[in-house]
Amino acid sequence: MSECNVKILAIESSCDDTCAAVLSGTMLLSNVVAGQQVHHDYGGVVPELASRAHQQNIVPVVDIALKKAGVKKEEIDAIALTKGPGLMGSLLVGVSFAKALSIGLNRPLIEVNHMQAHILSHFIQTPNEEYSPPAFPFLCLTVSGGHTQIVLVKDYFDMQILGQTLDDAAGEAFDKAAKIMTLPYPGGPLVDKFAKEGNPKAFSFPTPHITALDFSFSGLKTSFLYLIRDGKINNPNFVEEHKNDLCASFQYRVVSILIDKITRAAEETGVKEIAIAGGVAANSGLRNALQEAAGRHNWKVYIPKMQYCTDNAAMIGITGYFKFLRSEFAGIDLVPNARFEFGRTPAGS
Ligand code: KG4
Ligand code: ZN
């Protein structure tokens, strides 16, 4: 077995998507995601329902991933899985399944941090496509439903968090704004869709005054809530009549907050390789704004394909592969960690 055709089966179940992928080295052979419709009417993920759906989905999802890859389960060299962060019940399904498979196949386990994996998704290679991953060191703006971070990536596993949200994550802000407008969960993609038809300057929202490279989105959410509450006093159809402008203006402010901070991080570190990752990296406003900023600041930007922005197991597999090369295997006694952290700068430094 040469290192470049090591076969990794990866499993991701940290939130509400049941995902499996197979990689040969850095090359992606299959990537399967089963979403969960069950949360749409609740305005957010219901943890108990998520774990039950993972339990139902995991066997067929893994089976399909192996079949699509054309790989027999006996040909797998290692099993990579998400240890955390995420919902404990959801993580337990993936971890327990991976352990059972590891014992059955007599193959090692590799535990992966979900947030590191979002960043390393930039190293996934796809057949017949150009492969140009970022060069170290690069900055990654990781924006998802649970996290908003600026990370200085010095090497695959040498990552330093330079700033993060003090309250809501960017994706959470999108989802909460959508909920205020009574749009179903997850609202981020819908806000993005309606924003395309709206005027980003129709409504203005305050810019948070947060020091250093940290973020805050809770004030923005509150001013959005008040705008709609006040608008409805005189016009019960306020949201319906202004939906596109509301979405465009809200998105404009979130994106400007994100771009301001990554610009500052680039200035402070002198790094000009800039990547984005996580579910909100699928946002068209953010993707366009990053391209524009790249032109202004002479950055080289890395914007992942849509399927590697939101949760997927391909990113767990690529991270697992780099750990395989370092022989970093986990014991069968591994446990999920809902608050699994990495790269935190010690206080005062
Ligand atoms: O990374 P992800 O799939 O899961 C987490 O690890 O949290 O991110 C999900 C988040 C949700 O909040 C969702 O609304 C948001 O990403 N999202 C978007 C878009 N697509 C997904 N937000 C804004 N615009 C989008 N196009
Ligand atoms: Zn994620």
pLDDT, tens only, 242-301: 999 999 999 999 999 999 999 999 999 999 999 999 999 999 999 999 999 999 999 999
Q: Which atom of ligand 1 lies closest to the CA of 86?
A: 6
Q: How far is CA 255 from CA 4, 36, 40, 189, 190, in A?
A: 38, 27, 25, 14, 16
Q: Which two tokens stand for residue 152?
A: 């200085």
Q: Name the residue at shortest CA distance from atom 8 of ligand 1.
A: 279
Half-sphere exposure of 72 (CA within 13 A, CB side): 3
Q: How far is CA 222 from CA 59, 115, 216, 225, in A?
A: 42, 27, 12, 5
CA 278 – ligand 1 centroid, Å: 7
CA-wise closest residue to 8 among 58, 81, 64, 59: 81
**For 28-56, what is the mean pLDDT?**
90
d(CA 274, CA 265): 10
Q: Which atom of ligand 1 lies closest to the CA of 310?
A: 3
Q: Which ligand is nearest to the CA of 309?
A: 1
pLDDT in the model for residue 329 = 98
Domain range 138-306, its CATH number among 2.40.50.100, 1.10.510.10, 3.30.420.40, 2.60.40.10: 3.30.420.40
**Which of 120, 144, 165 most suits a substitution to test ligand 1, by most atoms within 8 Å of the C-beta?**
144
Check if CATH label 3.40.50.150 holds for domain 3-130+308-325.
no
Q: Where in the chain is CATH 3.30.420.40? A: 3-130+308-325, 138-306
Question: Is the pTM higher than 0.85?
Answer: yes
Please identify which residue in the block is written with the tokens 């999802």. Answer: 61
Is the CB of residue 122 less than 8 Å from the CB of residue 275? yes
Is the CB of residue 301 less than 8 Å from the CB of residue 275? yes
- With a Cβ cut-off of 6 Å, ligand 1 is lined by 15, 144-146, 171, 174-175, 186-189, 192, 278-280, 282-283, 310-311
Instruction: Please determine, for residue 109, whether its predicted confidence score (pLDDT) is greater than 80.
Output: yes
Q: Which atom of ligand 1 lies closest to the CA of 285?
A: 24
